[in-house]
Amino acid sequence: MNRIPSYSRRALVRVLPSLVAGAFALALPLAAKAADVNLTYAFFAPAGTFPGKQMAHWAEQVAKRTNGKVAVKTFPAGTLLGAREMYDGVSKGVADIGLGAPSYDPGRFPLTSGLSLPLGFPNATVASRVLWEITKEFQPKEYENFKVIAMFTTEPGYIQSRKPAGSAAELAGMKLRAAGTGVPVLKALGAAPVGMPMPEVPQAVQTGVIDGTMTSREVLQDFKLAETLKYVTDYPTVVVTFAAVMDRKRWDALPADVKKVFDELGPEMAVWTGQYHDKQNVGGALEWAKKEHKLQVVPVSAQERAAWDAKLKPMEDEWVKEMTAKGLPAAKYLARARELRDQFMKQ
- Tens-digit pLDDT profile for residues 114-161: 999 999 999 999 999 999 999 999 999 999 999 999 999 999 999 999
**Exposed (0-12), middle (13-18) or buried (19+): which is 48, by Cβ within 10 Å?**
exposed
Question: What's the confidence (pLDDT) of residue 104?
Answer: 87
Total Cβ atoms within 10 A of residue 145: 13
Question: What's the confidence (pLDDT) of residue 11?
Answer: 41
Mean pLDDT value across the chain: 91
Question: What's the confidence (pLDDT) of residue 173?
Answer: 97
Biggest CA-to-CA distance, the chain: 106
Q: What is the mean pLDDT of residues 274-283?
A: 96
Q: What letters, b where the CB count within 10 A reaches 16 and e where it falls short, cover 51-83? A: bbbbbbbbbebbeebbeebbbbebbbbbebbee
Question: What's the confidence (pLDDT) of residue 33?
Answer: 63
Total Cβ atoms within 10 A of residue 140: 19
Give the whole-number percent of the chain exceeding pLDDT 90: 85
Give the whole-number percent of the chain exceeding pLDDT 70: 90
Residue 20 pLDDT greater than 70, yes or no: no
Residue 15 pLDDT greater than 60, yes or no: no
The answer to whether 135 and 112 are in contact (CB under 8 A) is yes
Question: What's the confidence (pLDDT) of residue 22?
Answer: 44
Q: What letters, b where the CB count within 10 A reaches 16 and e where it falls short, cover 291-305? A: eebebeebebeeebe
Rounded distance between C-alpha atoms, residue 192 and residue 248, angstroms = 42
Please measure the distance between the N-terminal and C-terminal CA atoms of the chain and give it in whole angstroms. 84
222 to 245, 279, 332: CA distances (angstroms): 27, 15, 38
Residue 291 pLDDT greater than 80, yes or no: yes
pLDDT band at 179 (very low <50, low <70, confident <90, very high): confident
- Tens-digit pLDDT profile for residues 90-121: 999 999 999 999 998 999 999 999 999 999 99
Question: What's the confidence (pLDDT) of residue 180?
Answer: 87
Q: What is the mean pLDDT of residues 235-256?
A: 97
Sign of the CA dihedral with 313 first, then 318, 321, and 322 last: negative
Question: What's the confidence (pLDDT) of residue 5?
Answer: 45
Q: What angle do CA 257, 258, 260 make, to 5 degrees?
A: 65
Residue 19 pLDDT greater than 60, yes or no: no
pLDDT band at 85 (very low <50, low <70, confident <90, very high): very high
